[in-house]
Structure 1
Amino acid sequence: MIVSLCSPGYPGTHILDQAGLEIRNPPASASQVLGLKMPSSVCSADCGPGFRRFWKEGMAACCFVCSPCPENEISNETDMDQCVNCPEHQYANTEHDKCIQKDVTFLSYEDPLGMALALTTFCFSASTAVVLWVFVKHHDTPIVRANNRILSYLLLMSLTFCFLCSFFFIGHPNKATCVLQQITFGIVFTVAVSTILAKTITVVLTFKVTDPGRRLRNFLVSGAPNYIIPTCSLFQCILCAIWLAVSPPFVDMDAHSEHGHSIIVCNKGSVTAFYCVLGYLACLALGSFTVAFLAKNLPDTFNEAKFLTFSMLVFCSVWITFLPVYHSTKGKVMVAVEIFSILASTAGMLGCIFVPKIYIILIRPERNAIQKVRKKSYF
């Protein structure tokens, strides 16, 4: 007598006699009548919660193996053929037998990373305000008057706002902050970079224009280079307005970056508009760098062309590095990378342009003397 290896009573179970013929309706005590002991099955053990039944090729229809449920899928019953996906706002536990609610998170001020970035932002903003106060206090000294002090004041104020706009990226995102963080970033950085471009052009014109009767000298004295700032800023404002009209930033939920967490983030809306804003900034920075580089060897005690060149070099280096790093990160780290790029590029401009001047004003005042000036300053 031959007995199949499938479970008794399971579909496909049958008993054969010695001749290979199936015994239909065998007696309840067939095993005792034939002197055989019914073997237990080894193929059809129950698949408990967290597993699904899986049939391999060549196996009998009544035999299967138990396979663990894939990631983020569960089975909460015995002998399930398919596992079930957890909803987007939930995740599977380690046993894969139930779904657990994800924790909602964001880059907050209580988070160590958010706290560190907020403290850094505050320190840099306060430092810039102190530099502005020193410049205003020493407004009549040659080093402050050189290269147009009004532009220096405007640049320091715009750098302060560049630092402060980082606060829009920290805390619970909402519709207002999502819009403000990108629009403010684009406009205040445009004001800062266009101010550097205006200062650079002022330096070049100051050295190149020596004849009092020349038209370019009248162009310089009239303050025409200062119109670069509102013109460049207006164009950036138009780009931002188009961005808001077509596809503005909005609050989004990232449920896939971190296991067990749903991260509230600001979706940029139109990615094309975002890169247009960055591209326009890059063009301004490249133009400022080119003009400053050409003027870096002009002789003068207070010629700041070299400092402007280094500031634009740092600015461009930071944002060129930002793009690949930004796209390789997700969730809160992506937000932190953008904040770090804002702080690093702004600190580079502040340090390269104003730290040498603060050093002379506060530490080496003897070098801040009128006889050291080899050129006139224009306002």
Structure 2
Amino acid sequence: MIATPAFLAGCNSGDSDGRLPLDDTQNDDDTGTPPDDPGDPPVLNPTDEDLDGDGIPNEDDACPRVPGDDPALCDDTVDTDGDGIPDQYPAIEPYIGDGLVNQPWDNCPQVANPSQSDLDGDGTGDACDSDQDDDGVLNSADNCPMVANPSQNDENGNGIGDACDPGIEDGYSCSVEGIYSPMLANDADTRAMTSVDATHCLLGGGDLGSLLCGVQNPGYLTDDDTDNAAVIYNSDLLGLSTVTLNVSTGTDFVYPAGNRLGVAVRNAPQIVQLGLLTNGGLQIRTLLNGEVQEETEGSVGADLDLLGLSQVIGGDDFEYLVFETSLPFDSVEIFSGGFELVSLLEELEVSRVCAAKEGVAP
């Protein structure tokens, strides 16, 4: 027989034999009268086999979730929804010592919820909380009911908010509150910044290039206006001119392996149809500490896997080039140059670069 710890029972019960007896060592005389100080509350050690930790296995415990073996502690007079959690804390230890007696216990007293899960920590259990993530949008209308997203952004329009949409089958979604978020200068995690290498532009290039080759408004790539775009231009058709636009983290933040990188560009279908991502005319690269990790041409490091095209909402004719990455990175580089560059792509507009801050790809 398993010994039971001492509890002070404070409710009348028709099954008094099931109550935990007073510890004789707590009596101050031979009359059995409890002292003013009943001593330390019992030590409970909850486990999966003994949920309340009172030393009585669940299968033998009249109230598996309430310390003690008294069915009156969890019958329908004190547990309205019958989930094993009383509506209020009963007058037993350790609740007497903790000053919890008659305070609310069940966070959904009218709805059975033995797990007592409370996602937003507002004191109302998920089972009866009309706004589980506490974002101000009721569950019935929330496109991410388990993830706070008060703006309800849904860039790909598939009915699943960006904040909880990890897939790309219905279109890549990128937003500040989303799983995939843009690399922005005002992002506290990344403090993204841009740089341009136009030193190999035809006819001499300065920091931003020459009349025939360079980058206009590189800072537009990391501002929070999604309608803005940096413009990479390169009129060289002989492979003599190259220009690179880089966006990198300005902190120690590193994007994890197993990611999906989205680069929003204009004329994306044309880029893919002409094979410009594999013939050297245009390359997307990921880097870590200045070293190339993966790229679309695949000649350095591992090959950056193009998953396809996806629309970007809010920008005319912009689409995402979506890549699956397998290595961590802290910067993304867009390179224009090579012998296969064609006149149709003398200008390439790039509005943003997005990735997940936590790994998502299988």
Q: Same fold (TM over 0.5)?
A: no
| Greater share of residues in helix | 1
Q: Taking CA–CA contacts closer than 8 Å with sequence separation of 6 or more, which of the two structures ends up with the larger relative contact order?
A: 1
TM-score, normalising length: structure 1: 0.28
Largest Rg, 1 or 2: 1
